[in-house]
Amino acid sequence: MMKKKISLFLTALLFMGGINNAYAQYEDTENYDDDDEYEIVVTDKDGEEEIIELPEAMIEDVDSLLTLYHTKAYIQQDPDCNSTSESPEFDDDTYIERLSKLPTVMEMPYNEVVRKMIDRYVNRGRRQVSYMLGLANFYMPIFEEALESYGLPLELKYLPVIESALNPKAVSRVGATGLWQFMLNTGKRYGLQVNSLVDERCDPLRASYAAAQYMRDLYKIFGDWNLVIAAYNCGPENVNKAIHRSGGSRDYWEIYPYLPSETRGYVPAFIAANYVMNYYCEHGICPMVTDLSVKSDTVLVSRNLHFEQIANVCNVDIDMLRELNPQYRRDIVNGNTEPSLVRMPIETINAFIDNEDSVYNYRADELFSKRNTVDVPEVQTPARTYTRSSNSYSRQSSRHSARGNGMSSRHRQSAKSKHRKSRSKRAASQNVTIKKGETLSSIAKKHGTTVEKLKKMNKLKGSTIQTGKKLKVK
């Protein structure tokens, strides 16, 4: 199934994406504090405030994506679409009605958490939504074919919206990679090759089929699509723990309080993504339009090949080759290891076939500098010298290393051991002073941990912290 062929039109859609810099209409119109960047706050039925972490893709810096080759070359602003600087306000009944009209198998219920996620997209995330609507023209057909091949609900095509913001090169703070944000072990378990030269988690086609297979397997375990995408986020083990802690319920909204903080916002974010990708017009958001004039296809190579060889001999932009082949991490196609596919524009493929020998020979010795064999040099034995204090002899270098600092070997080892123990104790515990305006969420992100771990280390029952107090972060 992973080898299922996709039409040339769809592959052209997949790989010819981008966006220009005409974004003045989407500049932020509100001031946000730092806490708003990473979390939302909702009030539960008892009137208590609850902090929910946002999925990483929802706080993605869109500006960093605009430097990519395809974003500069193939997407542009729609001159016929008039966007607004702010989203209109709608009441709860309007959101409920719109969600109910989505043609989905999965339920799309509405509540305060879902509303907060929608508000995030249509207000602060307007620029990101416009970008993702442009990229959807390239990636959604691929997602749909992969999901359809495994009989999965097609609304799951919006899962990469909250996973990666449709960025095939996205890498999370814990190392999840690609459009579908596969962790290393999970990716390899579903057939994605990862080594020093190749990372197929960044391959939109292969990763989409691997993700569909993974979600099919999760559905066999849980039998509920909301639990499937919750497990996709935090792992099936954490979902099973939440099920047991809730008394055995298999309803996402029943096990909600027992899930990790980010996962509590994950299903609401998925619902919000389905909403905004369908009702963006109602919120005055213009999608970017795509230029599909350049088409691409693949060629199979059985020898090592460098992108510079193709670029220089076939006269093609090397940045385009990198965008078309994001799985190759160092511009090297390791055809010697196994036959490998390289995607190129159609006209470049013709030039490659006509000049194949010239391509492979171009600067080959320089670009592939790894040696297959090396000679072992002759070792020069140091001269041996006799000491005056005894009839025995020792190497000059050994005498200096043993006595050069005036300390015996035993004393030196003892000092090193004490230094290591002292350094270990310092690394084992680390406290910070809480500054004005900081929250558990912002402190956790700054120090590479989670809110739950901070609360456990500091024996905190709630999320309230006091300025000036010490907080253990490690």
| Alpha-carbon gap, residue 319 to 15, rounded angstroms | 13
CA dist., res. 278 & res. 118, Å (int): 12
* Residue 129, C-beta contacts closer than 8 angstroms, at least 6 positions apart: 121, 122, 276, 277, 280, 285
Give the up-direction half-sphere exposure of residue 446: CA atoms within 13 A in the CB hemisphere: 13
Q: Report the catalytic residues.
A: 163
Residue 16: the pLDDT is 38
What tokens appear for 341 in the block?
């596919």
Rounded to 5°, angle at Cα 8 from 348 and 189: 100
pLDDT attached to residue 66: 65
Q: Which of 331, 6, 281, 45 is nearest to 138 (CA)?
A: 6
Rg of the chain on CA atoms, in Å: 28
Query: What's the pLDDT at 380?
Result: 80
pLDDT at position 453: 85
Per-residue pLDDT at 68: 60
What's the pLDDT tens digit per position in 297-348?
Answer: 999 999 999 999 999 999 999 988 998 899 999 999 999 999 999 999 999 9
Distance, CA of 24 to CA of 30 (rounded, Å): 15
CA distance 14 to 9: 9
- Provide the mean pLDDT of the chain: 82
- N- to C-terminal Cα distance for the chain? 46
d(CA 474, CA 457): 8
- Give pLDDT tens digits for 225-239: 999 999 999 999 999
pLDDT per residue as tens digits for the range 162-200: 999 998 888 999 999 999 999 999 999 999 999 999 999
State which amino acid sits at residue 61.
Answer: D
Give the predicted TM-score (pTM) of the model: 0.71
Q: How far is CA 34 from CA 292, 375, 437, in A?
A: 39, 59, 8
pLDDT in tens, 108-128: 999 999 999 999 999 999 988
**pLDDT for the residue numbered 400:** 44
Q: What is the per-residue DSSP string for 296-343? A: EEEEEE-SEEEHHHHHHHHT--HHHHHHH-TTBTTSEEETTTS-EEEE
Judged against a pLDDT cut of 50, whether residue 9 lies above it is answered with no
pLDDT surpasses 90 at 429: no
pLDDT of 67 reads 61
**Residue 448: band (very low, low, confident or very high) from pLDDT cuts 50, 70, 90:** confident
Interval 243-268 mean pLDDT: 94
Cα separations (Å) of 393 from 48, 143, 387, 396, 471?
A: 80, 75, 6, 9, 59
Mean pLDDT value across residues 349-358: 95
Nearest alpha carbon to residue 74 among 291, 287, 263, 280: 291
φ/ψ region of 399 (left if φ > 0, alpha if ψ in -120 to 50, else beta) reads: alpha
Q: Is the pLDDT of residue 32 over 50?
A: no
Confidence of residue 419 (pLDDT cuts 50, 70, 90): low
Q: At what angle do helices 266-276 and 225-234 cross, to 10 degrees?
A: 110
Percent of the chain whose pLDDT exceeds 90: 52
Nearest to 167 by CA among 136, 188, 192: 136
Query: Which pLDDT value is given to residue 27?
Result: 39
- Report whether pLDDT(250) > 60: yes
